[in-house]
Structure formats: structure tokens, C-alpha cells
Structure 1
């Protein structure tokens, strides 16, 4: 089972997995814009954030959730609440990267060495599942793949999908009421009017705000440190944000556990290539072939988003699928050719058909060339090299 979140939402996907009592893994990828400037500023500065999540199931119930290729920092945040320091040897931690879920394997290693007890482990798993589903149920765009297979093992316990869906749906309704003052769990609180705060609030409250509103701790991290859900933390600071005593900003640095692209990447010597294709498998294939040969490959699965992002990227070559659900490749190509920025950029159309009419249509909208799927590594590399090397 795979598809686009514009066609089926996360809630429905989870319900299908629960009703079918399925065992396996759900992978979700999404791109979203975020405003780097504090709310209230006139000038906005947007970047694109790319994220992925994994949800592991056993007989229609959740075993665990992981965000992207975890660096164990989420576990570290929760261990801080329980005053537990990371005590595994570097060699043990390095061995976890070969597992399907490094975070989960790390928790079990802590359990086996009696560094934490089952109650703490269960609490951490519950909170990680909760925060992951909070993010997933907020999504409206993205791609997903569910693969049936062996369950993640061993299992500490399983969690009911319906319970989380009902609980988090209510929380998201309340979360929306905090907008635009609070927009994301990844925002960092910063003191903006210390004198006003000191004259208006008790000293104990001021001390707490100074401790946490350091511009380095996100709302989500704060929730982990306090062992509270993100909504509770957001509602607690909301009055201070309303009064402009606190500002919420985004981090300007990339932490190891985030997957944020600033889309002003340094181009590798062989050139930057954008592939627009709503089929995840094709995008992954193109990416692996091109990166292995030293190209910088960026795969965009949403053609509507791609049209705006591509003007920021200014790639050396564009690969564009013809048959896409939201927007045909012919339309994408025609729109790009109407812009002086892409008048001479090579655009290669990808299609599952090898017909004369398709080639004519591609030529009429300004396509440079045409590649029929499935294609071999050699076919793709020869075509890409032909046009990038001639620029």
C-alpha cells in the first residue's frame, strides 16, 4: 500500500492498518514551508523542511514510532527528565545503526543493562508515539508506503491506534487556536522584554522563563524535559507570547536529528539535477543512480510545490515525469519554459509510454529530450551527461 496524502489522509491509513490487523512498517515523507522570522515581522523568510517518519505495527497496533534516521537525541531528551545519563559504550551505540529502529534498540539496550526499568521505557515509548502521531496527523501533503512484514522485536507492549487518533485529533483542534502566535513544536522561545517580565511576574516565574527561554531549547524539547505533551507546554507559554514577552523563532543551525534543507546547497562539480516525479520508487532510483556518479540529485514528489521550489534551486537539468496526479509533466514543462530562468535549461521528460504522439507533445511544450521507463543506469547517465556537459 502506497500513495499520496492528498488522496488519503494519515487517519484513514492508520484505521485501515488497524482494521486489517496488519503487521509491518509505515514510512511517511513530507515537505513543508516554515517562516524563519518571528511572528509579527513584516518580512518573511521561508525555507523548506523535509521530514520522514516510521511507524511499526503488530496486528494492527503500534509498537513504536521513529522520526527519520534518528540520532538518539529524542531518547536523550526523555532520559534527562528521569536524570539518566547515556551510559552505553560508543561501540555499542555504533552497532545500533544497523538495526531497523536505532532508538528502539537503544531503549532495549538500556533495559537489558538495568540502566532504566520497564516502566520508564514504556513511558518513553508512549510519549514518542504520541509526539510522532501528533506530527503525522497534522500532515495534509506528502507520500507514504506501508510494507507488510515481520514485526519489530522484541515488543515491550503495543498501543491502540484508535485511542491515539481520538486523543490527538482533539489536541490538534486546540493547537490550531494558538496560531499564529505558536506555529510549530520546533520553535524556540526567546525572552524579548526582560524588564517588562520582571515588573509583571513573580520572581520564581521569571527565573523559570529565563532558564527555558534561552533560544536553544525548542518547545518539543521542553515538553520532553518536563514530561508533558506539547499542547500543555504551548498553552502554558501562550499568554507570554501574546504579550510579546516571549518570541518564538526557528533554529538557524541544523541539528543531527533534523532533516532540514536550506535549498541553497553548494553544487557538486558534476551539476545539480532536480527530478519531479510523484512515484517514490522512481525518485529513489534516480537519486541513487545520480548521486553514485557525483551529481547532486534532489527529488520532488509534489509537482505544485516543485514549481515554486525549482526557482530557488535553479538546477542544471530537470527530469520530469509526464503522468502525475496533480499536474501533468507537459504543463510543468510549459510553465517553466515561459520563464526566462528556464528557457535554456535541459528538461528531460520521463514516461512509461514510448509513443510518437507523446514525443511530439513533449517537443511542443519545449522538452529537450525524452526517457522511457523503465530505464537502465547507463541510459539515464548517458542522457544526463549529454546535456549537462554541453552547457
Structure 2
């Protein structure tokens, strides 16, 4: 089948600044109604690129790349990652003006010496590349440009714009060559069916079943400490063979630009991919050997859900079904602490508004328990105000989830604290 294989040239002017410019280039996409999707911030020091941020969920992006970095730095523990996230969250809540919260937190990491300069540079590069790919895929005619001059910027590492654009061009061409089967790094691979999975050798079935649990290519990159493009290439033959199906990115990532959009002109593609199951499994035999999930990524986790509403408990169980989790529900807040001490869960989902003992009081008791004090506690609340979030933090909550929530929001919490 013929399909386009020549990717358009990247709009290089988006990264062009005058020599010596220090500050921020802000791009606003007026064609996007959702504010969180519409703004890019590019940081430059003396005309050299430093960092790129996007207004879409910067905390999720930081979480994910910290997770990947933790494979390479044993001292980057879950507790340290949570501390970094909380600092970023406080910066995001504050009115930081033109400074993006994720950029500020990198400066904070350098100032506090929580990570080495090399680690910060690597983290900055991963985050920036992801943001720039999305920017360069956006229709440039819809972008409104603003220049913000600054005196100095934190020294996080600098890249020459020409070499950076050349690298991004090659990456985007590689993603484009995987279309039309793969159209986004945020797509989520699943087995098409049990019958299709059984076409694979048992060892590969087991190996892939531990990975294909609703994670996107980008999330798999964080879990496996591997390039998401490499992962996509390795599962590509199984997509062609009908063994793996791709689901759309979870909102709001489904609104980001796609890496493949069909065009009128068609030219021969890169080497033809195998399409029969036998050819596909043979092609993957070597490639998949590096995609070994870590024991932490595949163990069964215990999640305790505390809510006086049986309907809400049932809904949480339904949303988390099939996620390799042992879900325990508790409806009586008076008995919750005793049950939690016995369960020793890996994650606690705690409703705020309960009779007898409310969520804030129970969270305080959990933090005083020697058995439970380090367990992540996510407060589930119907309030979105800043005061409620601060109150949850003061009670000892690790995070919060606002009702009503979608499955993707709940799975994001699972990915953040358990994967």
C-alpha cells in the first residue's frame, strides 16, 4: 500500500532568535479554545536554546521524566520525586508571571543540589524535546508570538539551535514513517484480543501482557527507561499483524498534534514491515528482549479506597479493573485505621467528606502511624479551591483528586505512585 513517507520540513523560524537574546519566546495558539493546550514557552540564553515548556499538564510531564531518570539514579527515590513534584505544584499555584513552573523547579533542583548538573541537563533535554515536537507539529500560521526579554536565566545547559532542529527533524520523520498505524507517542497499545495474543509464543505473551495495561508509548518509556520511538518501532510489526491495537491518547493528550497526517503525495515508505504473525514474532524476537518490565512495574499493588458511598467505591473498582491491583474498599471511617494497619496498602484513596471522622482527620491519624506514615494518600474531594488543596496538604495528603473524575485521571494517579 502506498502512503506518504516524506515528512514536511520543520518550521525553523519558531526557534529563531537574534544573537545575544536572553529571555522567553511565548507562542499562543488562538485556534485552540482550551487555555491549557494553547501556550508554549521557549527559553533562550544569549541566543542559545535552554528549555521548552507547554501549558498542558507540566506536572504530568515532570513526573514521567523523573520516573525515567530514577532508573539511572538510584538516589532519586519515590520520596524525592514526590518532594520535587510538590515544589513544582506550589510554583504552579503561585503567580509566577512569565516563568513556567517546570523551568523554575529545574532551577530549584540546581540551587538545592538535589540532582547533579548532568542529571538536570538530561531531564531538561527530555522534557524540552517532547514539548518542541508538539510545537513543530502545530500549524505555525495559528501561532501568535511574544518576546519577553530577561536579564539572566538559570544555567541548566544550552543547545545550538541548528543542531537541535536537525535532531528534531530526524525524530519527527521517524515518527511519521510509522504512520498511518502509529499517529502519536501518546497512543496506548493493547492486545487486540486474547485469541490474537495467543498467536505469540508464551514467553512473549507474558512479557507483553505485563506492559500493555493502558500505558502510552511515552509512559512505557518512563517505565522501561527506553526511548519511546524505539518502543513504537518494536511493536510496529505486531500492529501490522493485527495482534496489537492502538487506542487514542487519553484526554487531554488526544488534542495534541499528530505525528502522522495523510497527505496527497505518496512515495515508497521505509522497508516493508512483516505482516504475518510468524514474520512479526520472528522480527520481534530480538527487539523485545530489551523490553523487560522491572519487578516494580509489574507487581500487584494493594490500593485501599475509603468512602462512605458504596456507589463511589464500586465506581473506583470498576475504573481500576484489570490494572493488576488488589482493591480493598472501606466504607466506615471509624474502622478505617485498624483495617489500613492490617492491609499495609501501597496507596490510599481517601474521601474528604465522611461522617464521624472526615478525610482530613483520618489522614492526620494515618500520618501518625508508624506503619502507614510513608504510604501515599490521595484525597478525593468535590472541591477545586486552593484553600481545600492547602488544607489537604496540611493534613498530610500526598495528592488530591477532584470529583467527578474520569478513568484517565484515576489511572494517572496509579501511574504516578505505583507503576
Normalised by the size of structure 1, how large is the TM-score? 0.52
Distance 2:14 2:100 in 1: 21
CA pair 136-89 structure 1, distance change in 2 beyond 3 A: closer
Task: Pick closer, same or farther for the CA change 1:31–1:252 going to 2, 3 Å.
Answer: farther
| 1:100-154 per-position Cα deviation (integer Å, ceiling 9, x unaligned) | 1211222333444444222211111111122222222223342131304005631
Aligned residue number for residue 12 of structure 2: 11
Distance 1:90 1:167 in 2: 29
Shift of 1:24: 2.2
Render the CA deviation track for 1:189-220: whole Å, top value 9, x for unaligned: 122133333432451x33342222212x2222
Q: 2:50 aligns with which of 49, 53, 63?
A: 63
Q: Following superposition of structure 1 onto structure 2, how do residues 171-320 of structure 1 map, counting pairs within 5 Å?
A: 171-201=171-201, 203=203, 205-215=204-214, 217-251=215-249, 253-254=251-252, 260=255
Report how many residues are paired. Answer: 234
Counterparts of 1:228 and 1:252, CA distance in 2: 21
Q: Distance in 1 between matches of 2:84 and 2:20?
A: 38
Secondary structure of the structure 1 residue equivalent to 2:245: strand
In structure 2, the residue matched to 1:137 is 136
Distance 2:84 2:37 in 1: 31
Residue equivalent to 1:106: 105
1:24·1:147 contact (CA, 8 Å) conserved in 2?
yes
Tell whether the 8 Å contact from 1:56 to 1:151 is kept in structure 2 after alignment. no
Q: CA offset at residue 70 of structure 1?
A: 4.0
Measure how far apart 1:30 and its partner are.
4.2
Extract unaligned runs of 5+ from structure 2: 1-8, 71-75, 257-419
Distance in 1 (CA, whole Å) between partners of 2:173 and 2:64 is: 26
8 Å contact kept, 2:69–2:225: no
Matching of residues 157-176 of structure 1 within 5 Å: 157-176=157-176
Distance 1:31 1:220, change over 3 A: farther
**Distance in 1 between residues matched to 2:21 and 2:54, nearest whole Å:** 21
Judged with a 3 Å threshold, the aligned counterparts in structure 2 of structure 1 residues 147 and 117 are, in CA distance, closer, same or farther, namely: same
Change over 3 Å in CA distance of 1:226–1:57 after alignment to 2: farther
| 1-structure distance, mates of 2:11, 2:188 | 27
1:171, distance to aligned residue in structure 2 (A)? 2.2
Instruction: Return the alpha-carbon distance in structure 2 between the equivalents of residues 32 and 208 of structure 1.
Output: 43
Is the Cα–Cα contact under 8 Å of residues 27 and 143 in structure 2 kept in the other structure? Answer: yes
Q: C-alpha deviations, 1:271-300, integer Å up to 9, x for none?
A: xxxxxxxxxxxxxxxxxxxxxxxxxxxxxx
Q: Structure 1's 146 and 214: CA in aligned 2 closer, same or farther, altered over 3 A?
A: same
What SS is found at the alignment partner of 2:42? strand
Report if aligned partners of 2:39, 2:55 keep a CA contact under 8 Å in 1: yes
Partner of residue 88, structure 1: 83
C-alpha spacing 1:222/1:110, structure 2 compared with 1 (3 Å): same
- Alignment partners' CA distance in 2, 1:113 and 1:194: 50
Length-normalised TM-score, structure 2: 0.49
**TM-fit CA distance, 1:66:** 0.8
Residue 175 of structure 1 and its aligned partner are, at CA, apart by: 1.9
C-alpha distance in 2, partners of 1:259/1:125? Answer: 24
Q: Who is 1:25 aligned against?
A: 24
What is residue 60 of structure 2 aligned with on the other side?
73
RMSD between superposed Cα atoms in Å: 3.3
CA shift, 1:236, in A, is 1.7
Name the SS of the counterpart of 1:82 in structure 2. Answer: helix
Q: Structure 2 vs 1, CA of residues 174 and 89 (structure 1 numbering), >3 Å: closer, same or farther?
A: closer
SS in 1 for 2:83: coil
**Is the strand fraction higher in 1 or 2?**
1
In 2, Cα distance between equivalents of 1:240 and 1:61: 41
Distance 1:253 1:236 in 2: 25
Change in 2 beyond 3 A, CA 1:77/1:108? same
Conservation of the 8 A alpha-carbon contact between 1:137 and 1:169: no
Aligned to 2:270: none
8 A Cα contact 1:64 1:125, kept in partner? yes
CA offset digits 1:165-199 (Å, max 9, x no partner): 11121222222221110011221112213333343
